[in-house]
A = this chain, B = another copy of it.
């Protein structure tokens, strides 16, 4: 009923897999979290039902209370459950889970939706970085960057224009990429470039001449813009991208709470 409903010792430990995603990470608390997530989204605790007490869960899974709390913190951050002192946790909603790579990679995202991702590399140039690019990618004056322009499609129809600026050590890899590679993000990962953190800014802009030509819309037509700066595990910027979507093709969702708020609202786009 409740996923496994028994101790996790019975779960095989031999699954290696990718360190990300997958319902069974190596850490104990991740497996507890995965099991509880499964139970919650399946409706085992009802629409707005109450979860068992931390102590009860600890006993059920054969782990300490601290580990249970670590697992529950994951679910709370995802907006799956509430938590307040004095009462058991309450189911908040059926969460929209989405792995990190699924969010950064257009290809992953499209496939996860069952759609066929497509795209075309329109251009790739290497040139000196301007001031803004140097600041975003933390580069020295005089440093060069690689800039790509891609048109992305879903099931054949144009959806988004993506302009990405790469620092040199990443750019050389992108430049060597065969032109028919579907997911450059995947390719970069295989070459040791990891994406772990990202800052996103979302607003609306008018299509310029280039956007209009590629997307097949009028010049000045509104586009949903997402600017994104991604860093690797060492905190080093590896990508600065600007994606422009046709209206009606995409929406972004965020959950936040009084204890965990990664969302903020800004006046005018400072650009």
Contact = CB atoms under 8 A, between A and B. Distances in A.
Contacts of A247: 203-206, 222
Contacts of A179: none
Nearest to A224: B204
B260 A82 contact: no
Given A47-B138, A251-B266, A261-B100, A82 B198 contact: no
A132 interface: no
Give the copy number.
2
A106 to B, nearest CB: 9
Nearest to A47: B138
A200 B252 CA distance: 8
Interface in A158-175: none
A20 B20 CA distance: 33
A191 interface: no
Contacts of A196: 82, 257-258
A116 interface: no
Nearest to A84: B233
A252 B113 contact: no
A77 interface: yes
Given A197-B82, A198-B256, A251 B268 contact: yes
Given A79-B262, A98-B264, A251-B270, 4 more contacts: A82-B196, A84-B234, A200-B254, A202-B254
Interface of A: 20, 47-48, 77-79, 81-82, 84, 87, 90-93, 96-100, 102-103, 109, 113, 115, 138, 154, 195-206, 221-224, 231, 233-236, 247-258, 260-270
